[in-house]
Amino acid sequence: IKGYNVVTTDIPKLIPFVDDIITMNKEIYSKSSQSKVIKLSWENKEDIDTVKKLNNNEAYDLIIGSELIYLDDLFDDLINTLRELSNEKTVILMSYKVRLQEMVDDFISKVSQYFKIEYINNELLNETYPRPEKMKLIRLYKIK
**pTM score, whole prediction:** 0.86
Over residues 37-73, the pLDDT tens digits come to 899 999 999 999 999 999 999 999 999 999 899 889 9
pLDDT tens per residue across span 95-122: 998 888 999 999 999 999 999 999 987 6
How confident is the model over 1-13, as a mean pLDDT? 79
Q: Residue 53 half-sphere exposure, CB side, CA atoms within 13 Å?
A: 8
115-119 and 135-142: which strand pairing? antiparallel
